[in-house]
Structure 1
Amino acid sequence: MLGFLTARQAGLDDPLRLRRAESTRRVLGLKLNPDRDVDRVHGNGINTIDIEAIEGRYMLSGGADGVIVIYDLENCSGKPQYTCKAVCTVGRSSRYVHKFSVETVQWYPYDTGMFVSSSFDKTMKVWDTETLKPAEVFEFEGNVYSHHLSPIARKHSLVAVGTKNPKIQLCDLKSGSRIHVLQGHRAEVLSVRWSPRYEHILATASADSKVKVWDVRRASGSLFTLDQHNGDKSKAASEAVNTAHNGRVNGLCFTGDGLYLLTTGTDDRMRLWNSATGENTLVNYGKVCNESRKRLQFTVSRGCSPEFVFVPCGSSVAVYALHTGELVTMLRGHYNNVDCCEFHPDYQVRYAEGPGGDYVSERQMLGVRITENVSKGKGV
């Protein structure tokens, strides 16, 4: 590290190289933080979290009890030991609360005045953060597994929605209506994800074992369907042609630059794809335990060299090197299944949340936050 600082001071090195080196060091030095906690609000499992990208200060969480909570992650006390406070809650007493489990929450990408939630009560709600009332409610025929707003879109305001229906719904926030459907899957759509590189490119994952990549400007079908065998029919059974996994595909995650797409499936495999060509890079991550019947939220680091993937894996979190598939470490200590994880490059803390309001935080890392299910009543 001193060598990096000396080279930077002398003008011989790129400051981004120093940042990458320090980010990587902190990822590899991840350890439990005994000094940080989070308010215990949820009374049941927490399925999803999201951290807004404007300030990196506020975190959303959605629970199996239908409750949504907004947390302030900033330490305003100045003390080394502190608890991140819940600044507002859409609780069971609210007339607007989701009736069943909240599966996805997401901040509006450009400001914190709005966020979107979707639920097994067959609705997606667009919330006004100030009033905590839904400005718009979209209703669907089946459970909503996943939704996603593009983090970069300027020419559209579409929300992609995956439901029990095989058709992907595109909802327009400006008009408040469903304007289009994407047809091609044959089973429920478990995960949807917009590209962080091209605002019209969307990836979808389904229980039919397939992952499709779409250009939503095209009236015809998908651009391509990911094939784990890269078109080699001799390696594929007749029923497994053009499948991304040999099971339900329930996890999607683009790398920060949008050049690669990661997928996870109930065949206990994770695969890395070239997002432009759909080619399977054949990186071998080994067995990646995945027993979830719903969407699996996992994440990729940003600003590190090499990049890392953080994947809920049973009661642990597996950390892999993105391009080699090497299992770097297993983050252990949870009592029950980890549900989802999120990465934020501006903080050096990782949060874990449990169904009884149990939380764990970890330090020495640029902002990994991981949500888990912990057996109710057990401390961490």
Structure 2
Amino acid sequence: MLGLMAARQAGLDDPARLRRAERTRRVLSLELNKDRDVERIHGSGINTLDIEPVEGRYMLSGGSDGVIVLYDLENLSRKPSYTCKALFTVGRSHPDVHKFSVETVQWYPHDTGIFTSSSFDKTLKIWDTNTLQPADIFHFEGTVYSHHMSPVATKHCLIAGHRQEVLAVSWSPRHEYILATGSADGTVKLWDVRKASGCLSTLDQHNGEKSKASSEAANTAHNGRVNGLCYTNDGLHLLTIGTDERMRLWNSSTGENTLVNYGKVCNESRKGLKFAISCGCNPEFAFVPYGSAIAVYAVFTGELITMLRGHYSTVNCCVFQPHFQELYSGSKDCNILAWIPAPREPVPDDISEKSLPQQHLNPAYEDAWSSSDDEG
């Protein structure tokens, strides 16, 4: 790291390389933080978490008791040990509380004044954060397993919600009209919401080649229920997970299965599984609930990097905080745990610039300024 800092200062290297290296180091050093607690409010399992993308400061949680909680993640006490306090709770006594399990909560991508929630009570609610009152309530005939608002849409404010057996849904972070859905029938479909004629494509785990084992497996993404999907931050790839205990990485443009082998991925959930992907690292990492632990995978190689252990029961969801490379997870044990990068080792006093690796100056970063005194 000292070498990267010196190279950046001297114009030897791209400044973005230092940022990627430090973000990657922080993700690889994630550990359960004993000095940071998240106030325990939920009386039953936590199904969903979301951190607002504007400041990265406020986090929502939704539980199987129908309760929604908003937390402030900032350390206002400035002390080494602190608790992330709940700012408000939509509790059982609230007149507009969800009657059954909350499956998804999400902040409005551009403003912390609005958030959304959907539930097994067959409703999707749009909340005013300031008044803690629903601005609108949508009633459906079937169970709402998941919903999602596009993070990049500028020409629409559609919320994608699916009923009955569609368990996971996500807008592309690259194209505002493209939507991916995962179903209990094992299929993953890509949609252009401007087209009424049907889906753009159905992802095929065999890339067009017929399955030798079963013809029924053709044109399916998984041999079980697809209950989790997540785009990479650049939108170029889509990661899916199914109850066949497999995770697959897809080229989102061509729909091709990249055939990355992640091995057996424990997934016993009968409903949606919320996992996360890092942002700004090299390589990128996926954080996947794995029983009572969280498995960390290298997205493009499939390597299992580590297992984060700390929960007492099944982990249902996790969310990545890209500003500080932190991870938060929610479990059936009613706890939300904070996973924070380990502190950096202190630099020895005898390190000097002479001991750092010498490199040739990159011409792109040469100082082109010259003094008039040097000119002839």
Q: Same fold (TM over 0.5)?
A: yes
Please name the residue that 1:278 is paired with.
Answer: 255
Please name the residue that 2:268 is paired with.
Answer: 291
The answer to whether residue 168 in structure 2 is matched with residue 191 in structure 1 is yes
Rg (Cα) greater in structure: 2
Please name the residue that 1:169 is paired with.
Answer: none
Please name the residue that 2:58 is paired with.
Answer: 58
Provide the rounded CA distance (Å) in 2 between the counterparts of 1:353 and 1:190. 18
Task: Encode CA deviations 1:40-71: one digit per residue, 9 max, x unaligned.
Answer: 11111010000000010000000011000000
Q: 1:355 to 1:205 in 2, by over 3 A?
A: closer
Task: Encode CA deviations 1:315-374: one digit per residue, 9 max, x unaligned.
Answer: 1111111111111111123211110111111125433444564343222179xxxxxxxx
Please name the residue that 1:335 is paired with.
Answer: 312
Please name the residue that 1:6 is paired with.
Answer: 6
The answer to whether residue 82 in structure 2 is matched with residue 105 in structure 1 is no
Q: Contact between 1:59 and 1:70, CA under 8 Å: does it hold in 2?
A: yes
The alignment-based identity, stated in percent, is: 71
Structure 2 gaps of 5+ residues are 344-376
Residue 326 of structure 1, aligned match among 303, 309, 317: 303
TM-score (norm 1): 0.88
**Which structure 2 residues correspond to residues 37-52 of structure 1 after superposition, within 5 A?**
37-52=37-52
The answer to whether residue 100 in structure 2 is matched with residue 123 in structure 1 is no
**Which structure 2 residues correspond to residues 101-250 of structure 1 after superposition, within 5 A?**
101-164=101-164, 188-235=165-212, 237-250=214-227
Q: Contact between 2:47 and 2:331, CA under 8 Å: does it hold in 1?
A: no
Task: Encode CA deviations 1:71-93: one digit per residue, 9 max, x unaligned.
Answer: 00000111011001100111111
Count of matched residue pairs = 343
> The residue matched to 1:235 in structure 2 has which SS?
coil
Alpha-carbon shift at residue 284 of structure 1 (Å): 0.3
Provide the rounded CA distance (Å) in 1 between the counterparts of 2:249 and 2:225. 16
Provide the rounded CA distance (Å) in 2 between the counterparts of 1:5 and 1:197. 32
The answer to whether residue 64 in structure 2 is matched with residue 87 in structure 1 is no
Please name the residue that 1:376 is paired with.
Answer: none
Provide the rounded CA distance (Å) in 1 between the counterparts of 2:83 and 2:111. 25
Task: Encode CA deviations 1:241-272: one digit per residue, 9 max, x unaligned.
Answer: 10000000001100000000000000000000
> The residue matched to 1:233 in structure 2 has which SS?
coil
Q: Which amino acid aligns with 1:155?
A: K
Structure 1 gaps of 5+ residues are 165-187, 367-380
Q: Contact between 1:70 and 1:87, CA under 8 Å: does it hold in 2?
A: yes
Provide the rounded CA distance (Å) in 2 between the counterparts of 1:275 and 1:362. 30
Q: Contact between 1:44 and 1:354, CA under 8 Å: does it hold in 2?
A: no
Q: Which amino acid aligns with 1:58?
A: Y
2-11 vs 230-239, which deviates more?
A: 230-239
Alpha-carbon shift at residue 233 of structure 1 (Å): 1.3
Alpha-carbon shift at residue 234 of structure 1 (Å): 5.0
> The residue matched to 2:55 in structure 1 has which SS?
coil
Provide the rounded CA distance (Å) in 1 between the counterparts of 2:333 and 2:91. 15
> The residue matched to 1:16 in structure 2 has which SS?
helix
TM-score (norm 2): 0.89
Q: Which amino acid aligns with 2:198?
A: G
Q: Which amino acid aligns with 2:55?
A: E
Q: Contact between 2:319 and 2:328, CA under 8 Å: does it hold in 1?
A: no
Provide the rounded CA distance (Å) in 2 between the counterparts of 1:234 and 1:64. 39
Q: 1:239 to 1:99 in 2, by over 3 A?
A: same
Alpha-carbon shift at residue 237 of structure 1 (Å): 1.9
Relative contact order: is structure 1 or structure 2 higher (C-alpha 8 Å, sep ≥ 6)? 2
Provide the rounded CA distance (Å) in 2 between the counterparts of 1:197 and 1:326. 26
Q: Contact between 2:146 and 2:161, CA under 8 Å: does it hold in 1?
A: yes
Q: Which amino acid aligns with 1:8?
A: R
Q: Which amino acid aligns with 1:237?
A: S
Provide the rounded CA distance (Å) in 2 between the counterparts of 1:35 and 1:352. 16
Q: Contact between 2:316 and 2:331, CA under 8 Å: does it hold in 1?
A: no
Q: Contact between 2:205 and 2:257, CA under 8 Å: does it hold in 1?
A: yes
Q: 1:158 to 1:236 in 2, by over 3 A?
A: farther
Q: Contact between 1:54 and 1:111, CA under 8 Å: does it hold in 2?
A: yes
Task: Encode CA deviations 1:123-182: one digit per residue, 9 max, x unaligned.
Answer: 000000011110000000111100000000001110000211xxxxxxxxxxxxxxxxxx
